A and B are shown apart, each in its own frame.
Chain A
Amino acid sequence: MSPQILVDGLIAGSMIGLGAIGVTLTYSILRFANFAHGDYLAWGAYFALALSGALGSLAGGALAAPIGPFSFGWSLPLAALAATALTAGLALLVDALLFGPLRRRGSSVIILVMASFGAALTLRSLLEFTFTSKPFYYTGELQIAVRFAGMRATPDQLLSLAVALVLVILVHLLLTRTAIGREMRAVAENPGLAGVAGVDVRRVVRTVWALGAVLACMAGVMAGLLIQIRPQMGLDLLLPLFAAAILGGIGSVPGAMLAGLIVGVGEAATVAVVGAQWRAAVAFVILVAILLLRPQGLFGRSDG
C-alpha cells in the first residue's frame, strides 16, 4: 500500500472515528443504534457554516482572513465551538421530544431504532429545506499541500487529524479517569444497579447525548472543511459510522477510533485500487465480515 493511501485513509478515518465514538457511547448507554447520529454530524457542519458566515461578515472580514497556512480564518474555529453547543442542544431536544418519552414508556429497542430513523429523515430534510441540496464550503481559499517523505497533505487535513486524535484522548481520559466517566461505565453495564448505587441515570444519559453530539459536530465540521457540506453528508457517513462502532466493539472509545481509521484506510485503498464509485461498499464489506467473524468487535466483550 502506498504511503499516500495511508495518509488519505487516516484523515478520512479520523472523521469516521469521531462520529463512531458518539454512536458507540450512545449505543452502550441507551442500548439502541441511533440512525439519526449521522444527521447530528450534518447539522453540526451547517451550524458552523451559518455561524462562521455571520462571524466572517460581522467584524468587517477580519475574522475571515486565513490563519497561517490554513484555508480558514478565526471565524471557523469560533463558529465550530458554538456549533458544538448547538448540536448538543439539538441532540438533547430530540431526546426530550422523542426518545425520552418512548424510553419512559418502556418501548422496545426496535421502536427506538424506528423513531431514530424517522428523526434522521426529518432532520436531513429540514437541512435540505433550509439550505437546499446545493453543496457549501467554509472557505473558497485554495491550499498548497505539504510534502513529506513522498506523501502530501494540506495543512487543513493535518490539523483535522491532530484535533481528532486530541479529542479521542480527551474522551478516553474522561471515561476512565473522571467521576462522570465512571458513572457512564456503570450505566452502560447496568442502569438499574447504577440507580441503586446513587447515580442519577437521567443526568448520565443527557451527558452522553451531549458528548456524542459534540464529537459528531466536530466530525461534521472536519468533513465540511475537507470535502463539502451537503444535507446528505450524514446519510453517506452513517454506514461507515455503524461499521466502525461495531468493528471497534460497542462501548469502546479507542476501539471506535481505531476501527474508524481502519474503515478510512479501507476506503482510501478501494478508491485507489477499484475506483471512487465503490467507496461506500467498504463499510458494508467490513460490517458483514465483522458480523460473520467476531460480532462483539475487536475490543468488545462477548456478553456485550
Chain B
Amino acid sequence: MTDAVLATRGLVAGYEPDLPIVRGVDLAVARGDFLVLLGPNGAGKSTLVKAITGLVSIHAGSVTLDGAEISTSPIHEKVRHGLAFVPQTENVFTTLSIEDNLRLAAQVLPRPGRAGRIAALYAMFPDLAARPRTRAGALSGGQRQMLAVARALVVEPRVLILDEPSAGLSPKVVTEVFARLAAINATGVTTILVEQNVRAALATAASRSGRAAILVEGRIAHEGPAATLADDPIVAELYLGARREPEPAA
C-alpha cells in the first residue's frame, strides 16, 4: 500500500449530482503493476477511470498520485503529473495529422525534449512513422488505437489508463494491441486496463504477474492476482460461463 503509485479512497463519482455511478471505491495500484478492471455492463468501470482522469466529476473521496492529492486539479494538470488516459472512443483528433496529434501531446513537455520524444515513439510504432502527414481520421481502427496509445505515452506517464482498447477491433489486432500493452508495462509504466474482453485481458495481465479487480454496482466486489482470478468460480460465473449477458450477482 505504501508503494501505491495511484490510489483512490472512498471515491464517489457520476454524471448527475444525485446519481452516483461509482459508489465508494478504494483502490491502490502498485508501481509497475498491470491491473485489469472487470465488471458487468453499467458497473461503473468506465466512470471510475474517467473520474480518476477528471472527465467525470467526483462527488466525494480522494485520488492520489504518488501521494499527492489530484482529485481537484484540472484534467490537463493531471496529464502533467504523469497520468495518461486513452478513452474508448474518439481517442484521436481525426482532423489533425498523426504528427500533429503527437506534437499536441508533446506540448506538455519542455521544448528541447519534444522532438526526441516523438522520434522515440515513431521508433516504437513504425506504422505511424511511415506516414506522419496522414490525417488520423483516415487510419484503420487498429492504427487509430496505436496512435491513441502513442499519444498517451508522449508524456512518459507514470500511470497509463486505457478504456476498452479492444472494442471494435478484430481478434488479430486485439492480440497485437495487448502484446504492445504488455511490452509498455514491461518498461515500468503502471497500466490500468478496463476491458470486456475478459480472457485476453486476464491472460495479458497474468503474463505481467498483474492483478484484476471486479467492479459491481459501483463498488469493488473482488480483487486478486490476474492468474488466479481467471480460475475463480465467481469470475467464471460472471464472465467465462455460457451466459453472454451476465446479471450482477445479487
**Which A residues lie at the B interface, using CB under 8 A?**
179, 182-183, 185-186, 188-190, 192-202, 301
Say yes or no: is B76 at the interface (Cβ < 8 Å to chain A).
yes
The answer to whether B93 touches A190, judged by C-beta atoms less than 8 angstroms apart, is yes
Contact of B100 among A182, A190, A195, A196 (CB under 8 A): A182
> With A183-B107, A185-B96, A192-B55 as given contacts, are A200 and B151 in contact (CB-CB < 8 Å)?
no
Whole-angstrom distance between the alpha carbons of A190 and B94 in the complex? 10
* Segment at the A interface, from B84-92, B186-194, B225-233: B84-92
Query: In terms of DSSP, what is the predominant structure of the interface of chain B?
Result: loop
Chain B positions within 8 Å of A199 at CB level? 76, 104, 107
Given contacts A198-B76, A200-B74, 16 further A-B contacts (CB under 8 A): A182-B96, A182-B100, A183-B104, A183-B107, A185-B93, A189-B93, A190-B90, A192-B55, A193-B91, A193-B93, A195-B75, A196-B87, A197-B151, A199-B104, A199-B107, A201-B75
Say yes or no: is B32 at the interface (Cβ < 8 Å to chain A).
no
The answer to whether A200 touches B76, judged by C-beta atoms less than 8 angstroms apart, is yes
The answer to whether A197 touches B90, judged by C-beta atoms less than 8 angstroms apart, is no
User: Which residues of B from 71 to 121 have beta carbons under 8 Å from A?
Assistant: 74-76, 79-80, 85, 87, 90-96, 100, 103-105, 107-108
Say yes or no: is B202 at the interface (Cβ < 8 Å to chain A).
no
Say yes or no: is B146 at the interface (Cβ < 8 Å to chain A).
no
Say yes or no: is B185 at the interface (Cβ < 8 Å to chain A).
no
Whole-angstrom distance between the alpha carbons of A201 and B85 in the complex? 17
For chain B, which range describes its interface: under 10, 10 to 19, 20 to 34, or 35 or more residues?
20 to 34
Chain A positions within 8 Å of B96 at CB level? 182, 185-186, 189
The answer to whether A196 touches B104, judged by C-beta atoms less than 8 angstroms apart, is no
9 contacts between A and B (CB under 8 A): A182-B104, A189-B94, A193-B90, A195-B76, A197-B93, A197-B104, A198-B104, A199-B107, A201-B76
User: Which residues of B from 193 to 218 have beta carbons under 8 Å from A?
Assistant: none
Contact of A186 among B53, B91, B93 (CB under 8 A): B93
Instruction: Please give the distance in Å from A204's CB to the nearest CB on chain B.
Output: 10
Chain B positions within 8 Å of A201 at CB level? 75-76
Whole-angstrom distance between the alpha carbons of A82 and B107 in the complex? 31
The answer to whether A186 touches B55, judged by C-beta atoms less than 8 angstroms apart, is no
**Which B residues lie at the A interface, using CB under 8 A?**
53-55, 74-76, 79-80, 85, 87, 90-96, 100, 103-105, 107-108, 151, 155
> With A185-B95, A185-B96, A189-B95 as given contacts, are A197 and B105 in contact (CB-CB < 8 Å)?
yes
The answer to whether A198 touches B90, judged by C-beta atoms less than 8 angstroms apart, is no
Instruction: Please give the distance in Å from A279's CB to the nearest CB on chain B.
Output: 36
Contact of A179 among B53, B85, B107, B151 (CB under 8 A): B107
Which residue, A194, A198, A202, has most C-beta atoms of chain B within 10 A?
A: A198
Whole-angstrom distance between the alpha carbons of A186 and B238 in the complex? 40
The answer to whether B100 touches A198, judged by C-beta atoms less than 8 angstroms apart, is no
Chain A positions within 8 Å of B155 at CB level? 198
> With A179-B107, A182-B100, A183-B104 as given contacts, are A196 and B93 in contact (CB-CB < 8 Å)?
no
Closest to B84 in A: A196
The answer to whether A182 touches B151, judged by C-beta atoms less than 8 angstroms apart, is no
Chain A positions within 8 Å of B94 at CB level? 189
Whole-angstrom distance between the alpha carbons of A201 and B79 in the complex? 13
Whole-angstrom distance between the alpha carbons of A201 and B55 in the complex? 13
Which residue, B103, B107, B151, has most C-beta atoms of chain A within 10 A?
A: B107
Closest 6 CB pairs of A and B: A195-B75, A198-B108, A198-B79, A200-B76, A197-B105, A198-B76
Chain B positions within 8 Å of A195 at CB level? 54-55, 74-76
Closest to B106 in A: A198
The answer to whether B87 touches A197, judged by C-beta atoms less than 8 angstroms apart, is no
Chain B positions within 8 Å of A186 at CB level? 93, 96, 104
Instruction: Please give the distance in Å from B4's CB to the nearest CB on chain A.
Output: 22
Whole-angstrom distance between the alpha carbons of A186 and B108 in the complex? 14
Instruction: Please give the distance in Å from A301's CB to the nearest CB on chain B.
Output: 8
Instruction: Please give the distance in Å from B146's CB to the nearest CB on chain A.
Output: 16
Closest to A201 in B: B76
The answer to whether B80 touches A198, judged by C-beta atoms less than 8 angstroms apart, is yes
Whole-angstrom distance between the alpha carbons of A301 and B96 in the complex? 13
The answer to whether A196 touches B107, judged by C-beta atoms less than 8 angstroms apart, is no
Instruction: Please give the distance in Å from B153's CB to the nearest CB on chain A.
Output: 12
Chain A positions within 8 Å of B151 at CB level? 197
Whole-angstrom distance between the alpha carbons of A193 and B53 in the complex? 11
